[in-house]
Structure 1
Amino acid sequence: MSKKELIRRYLFFLVGLFVNSLGISLITKANLGTSPISSVPYTLSIGFAPTLGMFTLAYSVLLIVIQLVILRRRFPRQFWLQLPISVIFSWFIDVTMEMLSFVQPQGYPLKFLSLLVGCLILGFGVFMEMAANVVMLPGECTVSAISTTWNTDFGKTKVAVDVTMAVSAAVLGLILYHALTGVREGTIISALLVGNIARTFNKGIGSWVQNLLGEEELPSAEQA
């Protein structure tokens, strides 16, 4: 891979990271729960001072520590890129939450519409990250660590990890607030929709994007 292509891919990834954070923020603003990967940070941010972005950063560091425990000496050198990427991603979340401060949907239909639009944006952001094929966020790297160590299917492992995150957030909500705060139907809907939306973009414009970035073949859609 040439240096120019690598630069293009990292720039594309960073734009995808921003789109990803925009989708998460809009889903959160719908007030019907948030995406599984953000469910624990969001639940904590409801009752404590640090922002959603700051809790996301702390949660990302925790996931990286879990990867180190699982992989030990087999921890790939490129996985350390998760640290700066997590800082940028967390900052993007706070920026987009501020950008969308005017979004306060009233009534269930508008909240549901905001949720669906957020899922569409998040799905496109996931597609962009997948198409860039340079680095993964801590959530996906954790799935990769588990599937590599215990030889499990990446897609099924991702579903299991997402469910674990959502259940953890639900338990935290019950302990801290005595309610399912932060985990609602929107969490389930986003878990079901986002991956499929990313795969749809992959099939529709994936080849064109890869030509733009300088590579003919896409990475596996199983990583969506």
Structure 2
Amino acid sequence: MTVLKRYCLFICGIFFMALGIALIIQSFLGTSPISSVPYILSFRYPITLGGFTFIVNMLFIIGQIFILRRQFQYIQFLQIPMTLIFSCFIDLAMLLFSLIQPENYLFKLLLLFIGCALLGLGVTLQVIGNVVMMSGEGLVNAIAMQWKFNFGYTKIAFDVSLVIIALTLSLIYFGEIRGIREGTVISAFLVGSMVRVYLPRLSYPDEHGNLIFCLPFFKKRLNVK
């Protein structure tokens, strides 16, 4: 794929991620771990979820620079405009889904699973696009690189830490737990599983090992696995 196509695919991934996060929130069963801190802050201060998403992700980028120092690659500064686009998409998605007010628990679960599916699709498209890391994953990668930790385990620890911080802020601000529910736990496990399902069905490696985006129907016609 050309660089332009990869960036377009990456931005499409950001859009689907925003849709997924917004739909998970509108299920009223919690939020995804990566959005838990901005979500709690948006309850307390007059700034949108997208606005706090941008602020928190800027802190993630500063953390990467502090940890990696001279090893921080300049191309990773593209995380800043990508995060800005992502934040705008989140506010747009929250507006689009604002009229959804589920009362039935089964309907809430359905919205949660659809949201996880969209979030997983967004992550998959970003992986295939492979142009730059989002700042959360960038910070996880920086920690794993600097201290020689396993990326997967570091990602789990990072997500758990975000949820703990969100829970602490909720208790400090409101004296109760808000925005963190069973949906947060479900999304933490389900999104990764969705990515593992999507990735082999929406891509195939070229001769250099780079992933090429391809819909399942066209994969059959091209006779690729």
- Alignment TM-score > 0.5, same fold: yes
Matches within 5 A, 1:53-72: 53-72=50-69
Matched, 1:41 2:38: yes
What is the alpha-carbon distance in structure 2 between the residues aligned to residue 215 and residue 14 of structure 1?
23
Moved over 4 A (4+): none
Among all aligned residue pairs of Structure 1 and Structure 2, give the percentage whose two residues are the same amino acid: 44
Which of 139, 162, 173 pairs up with 2:136? 139
CA distance in 1, matches of 2:66, 2:130: 25
More displaced 10-residue stretch of structure 1: 103-112 or 166-175:
103-112
Whether 2:9 is the aligned partner of 1:16: answer: no
Uncovered stretches (5+) of structure 2, i.e. residues with no partner: 213-225
Aligned to 2:216: none
Aligned-pair CA distance for 1:215? 7.0
Looking at structure 1, the residues matched to 77 and 109 of structure 2 have their Cα atoms a distance apart, in angstroms, of: 37
Pair member with larger Rg: 2
Residues 190-224 of structure 1, C-alpha deviation per residue, up to 9 Å, x if partnerless? 000101101110122221xx67xx975339xxxxx
Given candidates 179, 182, 185, the residue that maps to 1:188 is 185
1:83 counterpart residue number: 80
- In structure 1, give the amino acid aligned to 2:73: P
Which sections of structure 1, spanning at least 5 residues, go unmatched? 220-224
Question: How big is each residue's C-alpha offset from its partner over 1:20-52, in whole Å with a ceiling of 9 and x where there is no partner?
Answer: 100000001111110000000001112221000
Pairing 1:73–2:70 present: yes
Code of the residue aligned with 1:163 in structure 2: it is V
Residue 97 in structure 1 maps to residue 94 in structure 2: yes
Distance in 2 of aligned mates of 1:191 and 1:39: 11
Q: How many angstroms apart in 1 are the aligned matches of 2:44 and 2:105?
A: 24
Q: For residues 5-30 of structure 1, give each alpha carbon's deviation from its aligned partner in whole angstroms, at most 9, with x where no partner exists.
A: 00000001111110110000000111
Backbone CA RMSD of aligned residues: 1.6
1:121 match: 118
1:217 aligns with 2:210: yes
- 1:30 equivalent in alignment to 2:27: yes
Give how far 1:86 is off.
0.7
Once the two structures are TM-superposed, the CA of residue 107 in structure 1 deviates from its matched residue by 2.2
Aligned residues: 212
Could you state the TM-score of these two structures normalised by the residue count of structure 2?
Answer: 0.90
AA matched with 1:203: P
- The alpha-carbon distance between structure 1 residues 215 and 131, as it changes in their structure 2 partners (threshold 3 A), is farther
Deviations 1:82-141 (A, max 9, x none): 111111100000011111112111121111111111001100110000010111111100
